[in-house]
Structure 1
Amino acid sequence: MGVVGGIKCIKYLMFMFNFLFWLAGTGVLAVGLWLRFDSRTEGLFSGEDSPSVFFTGVYILIAAGALMMVVGFLGCCGAIKESPCMLGLFFFFLLLIFGVEVAAGIWGLSNKDTVVEDITEFYKQTYNNYMNTKQEALKETLRLIHFGLNCCGLTGTIIDSARETCPKKEGLEALITTSCPAAIDEVFNSKLHIIGGVGIGIGVLMVRTANQLSPLLSRSLHFSIHPPLLSFTPLFSISPSSLSSSSPPLLCPLSPLLSSTPLSSPSSPSSSSPPLLCPLPPLVL
């Protein structure tokens, strides 16, 4: 039996919420796979001097995207198929993602200086390798960093030799371009708390929404499969006005059987035993 009414609206709200979450996971996974297997960046994963930060970040993207897709799939199918098992798994994985997100945020805040140094070192290593080899994969990596952080090179000056990977600027803007080490430091020192707050806020919103919708839908599914027992009412009732002195007593149907019990004494004949009266039902006032 399907759900009806307001619970049906909750069912489709949950489906839409998880479908968007599944689409976001698909996008994250696609970006991770593109960075890993694209011919222009594949060279970064080979060789002894391959940047470990980039290597780790790409695999984190792939794992996060795959987990988001699994969670979105469980939520969508659990809502449409009305499966309490899938909804339970969906809520469990959602709590797992939120826990990992909070743990990563705490670790990032406590090791902020180390993270900044590692990322800056990764950029310098990529930049120097590109200047020596002119490898296309390194060029695309620098282009992504430069456009993402709106920076250019190690110095940010107009005479920087990797200007072909930098955003195109005109006039005085070309003279005041920020260097990438300074841009990395600015992101982690001035904007990290904003990024962390937005991430934790999104995680709390996800868990809160699932915590509100999943139990309602599961409870509705339970009652649709196992409806509650119907209460019964007495077949008849006696009002006080019907109890008059002229009313005949209610004879118990079992009185003949009870009156002929062998427990009666031999001296008293069974024929003289008075009929048993049935007890009156509770009065309905």
Structure 2
Amino acid sequence: MAGVSGCVKYSMFIFNFLFWLCGIAILAVAIWIRVSKDGQEILSSEGFSTNAYIAVDILIAVGATIMILGFLGCCGAIKESRCMLLLFFIALSLILLLQVAAGILGAALISESENFLNETLYQNVELLSGTDSTAKAFQKALTEFQKQFKCCGLVNGPSDWGDNFQSQSESCECSDTSDSSCILYEGNYVYKEPCISFIIKLLKTHILIIIGIAFGLAFIEIFGMIFSMVLFCQIGSK
């Protein structure tokens, strides 16, 4: 009867040991952020909301899950435990299925999220011409965005700023007045393209990055599942 391949066995161990170390690193960083004084200052600083705490809690759960899976894989490989290898295979299969389901759902919601973003941005146009504290906070955020991405206004261009244009025009002024992307508006050369197109582009870019990470993780998970099943079958045929 065939024995257990040393190459498969130790490859499985090394793969899961690295997997386990990644879990420890994620868990350690997430817990440090959650409980340390410095971490609390970061999460409580301006620009962070309760969503930051939720994200850290999710990282703790992810790190713990990766640690458990890495432990099952390592012990299953070294001890040649079919039970641990089977649990490892089932856990990875469930995670992979959840990723596929999330990917399908995400793809179906891309167009809906873009429509929702469009509606939200159109509703926020009025904030650019407002004078209350909420409007000023939104205007401050948009001026920073205009400087970085060389756009002006939110949906319709510089006219979105209304009476506030002169006080906010510096953030969307063109450095090169001969640039075709610039227009003359109320005596100032500014970028004619509204920021909505850049915001939607950023959304799509981030979605593609997430999809890329998901595919990379799926490849690693399939790799681990193959190793575990090969080792599982070899142990059973000894």
Q: TM-score range by the shorter chain?
A: 0.5 to 0.7
Counterpart of 1:269? none
Which ranges of structure 2 fall in alignment gaps of 5 or more residues? 122-132, 138-142, 149-167, 169-175, 177-190
Hey, what's the Cα distance between the residues in 2 that align with 1:16 and 1:79? 9
Counterpart of 1:208? 222
Hey, what's the Cα distance between the residues in 2 that align with 1:182 and 1:21? 39
Change (3 A) 1:9 1:50: closer
Normalised TM-score (structure 2) = 0.57
Letter in 2 for 1:212: I
Q: Which has the larger radius of gyration?
A: 1
Counterpart of 1:11? 9
Hey, what's the Cα distance between the residues in 2 that align with 1:27 and 1:18? 14
Counterpart of 1:196? 211
1:15-68 Cα offsets, whole Å, 9 max, x none, are: 111112112222222332233222313537xxxx97243232222211111111
Whether the aligned pair in 2 keeps the contact of 1:154 and 1:181 (CA below 8 Å) is no
Whether the aligned pair in 2 keeps the contact of 1:102 and 1:200 (CA below 8 Å) is no
1:217-241 Cα offsets, whole Å, 9 max, x none, are: 12222233xxxxxxxxxxxxxxxxx
Could you tell me the percent identity over the aligned residues? 38
Hey, what's the Cα distance between the residues in 2 that align with 1:105 and 1:39? 32
Counterpart of 2:233? 219
Counterpart of 2:32? 34
Instruction: Give 1:185 shift.
Output: 4.1
Letter in 2 for 1:65: G
Q: Does 1:77 align with 2:102?
A: no
Give the aligned length. 175
Normalised TM-score (structure 1) = 0.48
Structure 2 counterparts to residues 1-285 of structure 1, below 5 A: 3=3, 7-37=5-35, 38-43=39-44, 51-112=49-110, 114=113, 153-156=144-147, 185-203=200-218, 205-224=219-238
Which ranges of structure 1 fall in alignment gaps of 5 or more residues? 122-127, 133-151, 161-171, 225-285
Whether the aligned pair in 1 keeps the contact of 2:43 and 2:53 (CA below 8 Å) is no
Letter in 1 for 2:80: E
Q: CA RMSD in A?
A: 4.2
Instruction: Give 1:210 shift.
Output: 3.0
SS in 2 for 1:86: helix
Pick 1 or 2: higher relative contact order, CA cutoff 8 A, min separation 6: 2
